[in-house]
Amino acid sequence: MSNTSAAPRQENRTPEVEVLISADRIAARVRELGAEISRDYRHRSLRLVGVLKGAFVFLADLLRAMDHPDLTLDFLGVATYGSGSQTSGEVRVTKDLDQSIEGLDVLVVEDILDTGVTFHYLTTALRNRKPASLQTVTLLDKPSRRIRPVQADYVGFSIPDAFVVGYGLDFAQRYRELPYIGVLKT
């Protein structure tokens, strides 16, 4: 017996993701970054500021890779992409810091340095809060897209100009759970 009133079956049209940086390569590089940052801040207190939402996975792994007795943590939320794959060029703060960074050594933890617009906005805004020092670490750097002359103090990987997802990075709030960095194919 057929059911003629049933809705037509919809096919899953999930875009394909091609692996760009494997989970093993990410883990090894994050351990290296953790060791380097721990050495550089060996005798100083350090406040990590994770940039939400994309950097949360990188930040968690980086924090565990660090051997540093005096770390504190805060988060700052910003948005420039919305639900698309092209930046709007406008930076919106979606969550401010919970604590003052005045007089502290601060390391901003970013997922990706792309055009430099968000990065420039963040570093300028945070410098205005008078930290003792302000440095940055980014998992991914895409220098070919730069429209602002900025660079991170610590870089995980330089990547080509492709829209990437995974390891915390998303497309329309999806794909963050992937354990690798992948290029989104439509």
Domain ranges of the chain: 22-162
pLDDT band at 1 (very low <50, low <70, confident <90, very high): very low
Please name the residue that has the structure tokens 């091609």: 18
Whether the per-residue pLDDT at 2 is higher than 50: the answer is no
> What mean pLDDT is predicted for residues 4-10?
40
Per DSSP, 11 falls in state P
pLDDT at 177: 95
Which of the following is catalytic: 61, 111, 114, 170?
114
CATH of 22-162, one of 2.60.40.10, 3.40.309.10, 3.60.110.10, 3.40.50.2020: 3.40.50.2020
pLDDT band at 78 (very low <50, low <70, confident <90, very high): confident
Point out the least confidently predicted range of 2-6, 27-31, 166-170: 2-6
> What mean pLDDT is predicted for residues 74-97?
75
pLDDT at 75: 97
Give pLDDT tens digits for 164-180: 999 999 998 899 999 99
To the nearest 10°, report the CA torsion of 93, 95, 136, 151: -20
Give the Cα separation of 123 and 114 in Å (integer): 14
pLDDT at 88: 53
Per DSSP, 74 falls in state E
Nearest CA to 20 out of 140, 181, 184, 156 is that of: 181
Per DSSP, 143 falls in state G
> What mean pLDDT is predicted for residues 25-41?
97
pLDDT at 87: 53
- Tell me if residue 153 is catalytic: no
Whether the per-residue pLDDT at 5 is higher than 70: the answer is no
Alpha-helical runs (H) found in the chain: 23-40, 56-65, 117-127
pLDDT at 90: 76
pLDDT, greater one: 81 or 138:
138
Give pLDDT tens digits for 36-77: 999 999 999 999 999 999 999 999 999 999 999 899 999 999
